[in-house]
Amino acid sequence: MKKISLAIALLSVLPLAAQAQTSVTIYGIADASVGIEDTDAPGTDSRTVISSGTQSTSRIGFRGTEDLGNGLKALFNIEAGIALDSGAQDAAGLFQRRAVVGLQGSFGTVTVGREYSPIAAVVQSSDPLGHGFYGSNLGSFGTGRATRRLPNSVNYKSEALSGFTVQAAYSAGERQNDNPSGSLVGVSVEYKNGPLNLGAGYHQVENLATGDDEEFAFGAGYNFGAFDLRGSYVMADPEGPLPEFKFTTVGGSFTAGASKFFASVHQQRVDTGGRGNGFSLAYQYTLSKRTNLYSSYGRVRNNNGGNFGLTSAGGTFAPPPTAFGADPSVFNVGVRHSF
């Protein structure tokens, strides 16, 4: 009887021991705002909108790790975007934000799945608006622009060594007959030393029909305490019918107690002559570690060949495709909660 009781006690402890080496976290962000949008296009008026993800994309995610021993960990992360205004999932797919599994150790981290690109890391760390609000450098991503996420990819990120971190990625085009069209190879290097942050990234996209597309990104930042300055430059040089695209931004933020002020200027241009110069102002008031209020305003002045808009964490607001020279603007007030 004593042996049976001892066996039952040992069996009951085993799941606890396994649980102690494994962690799974559910997390997310709920971000919604009320805003006024004006395309400035002929025959259109401003409109009041409820938007999701102006400062940060609304999302829900699951991430976890398992300790495999000897400093090796297994990991996974799946993250879905949510349109908080309608309750719909992101149009690109359920777990379109990130869906990876991998291993982490002294060698660095290797992930497989849908992952952020090497250039995305450089751009994110150098956005004066904190990678949110209309006018952020998220506008450097999209069709004919830089690539932010990589499907069907194998990715590597090194451990920091003397302040340097290296990322490399291969995204398979998955075409038949040994056709590499659509595949992407990318690499980035970031240097972080105290208040200083520098980064550079490069992508090459194979396209047999028109030649290889190239994408470049450079970023820098410096923190002076209450003041924080950031800037980035992104260029996409497609070989097909789309024009060469460049996005440049510089600005900063100032923190005073629970208040944080943001300001930036940016320029978008294509080599066919189109150009848009924009500016953004934003304010954040922190209520707790997880909740804040915010307000922002952004505007773009396009030349006669420009048709550029403003991009926030939740999407892009732009004039109609034929409204060249229109000057779009957005004002909003919102709340963001993290869990």
Q: What is the value of pTM for the model shown? A: 0.89
Q: What is the pLDDT of residues 55-70, one digit of tens each?
A: 999 999 999 999 999 9
What pLDDT does residue 39 have? Answer: 97
Return the CA Rg of the chain: 23
CA 233 to chain centre: 15
In a domain, residue 30? The reply is yes
Residue 127 to residue 210: CA distance in whole angstroms: 32
In a domain, residue 231? The reply is yes
Residue 153 to residue 205: CA distance in whole angstroms: 13
What pLDDT does residue 135 have? Answer: 97
What pLDDT does residue 3 have? Answer: 41
C-beta of residue 189 within 8 angstroms of C-beta of residue 198 = no
In a domain, residue 5? The reply is no
How many domains does one find in the chain? 1
Phi, psi of 202 (to 5 degrees): -145, 135
Q: Domain containing 205 — which CATH number?
A: 2.40.160.10
In a domain, residue 183? The reply is yes
In a domain, residue 4? The reply is no
What pLDDT does residue 2 have? Answer: 42
In a domain, residue 18? The reply is no
What pLDDT does residue 17 have? Answer: 44
Which segments of the chain have a pLDDT < 50?
1-20
What pLDDT does residue 318 have? Answer: 95
What pLDDT does residue 21 have? Answer: 84
In a domain, residue 115? The reply is yes
In a domain, residue 293? The reply is yes
Residue 150 to residue 184: CA distance in whole angstroms: 8
What pLDDT does residue 38 have? Answer: 98
Helix (H, G, I), strand (E, B) or coil at 127: coil
Contacts by residues 162-168 (CB-CB < 8 Å, ≥ 24 positions apart): 163/191, 163/192, 163/193, 164/189, 164/190, 164/191, 165/189, 165/190, 165/191, 165/192, 167/118, 167/121, 167/201, 168/118
Which range marks the domain in which residue 80 is found?
Answer: 23-338
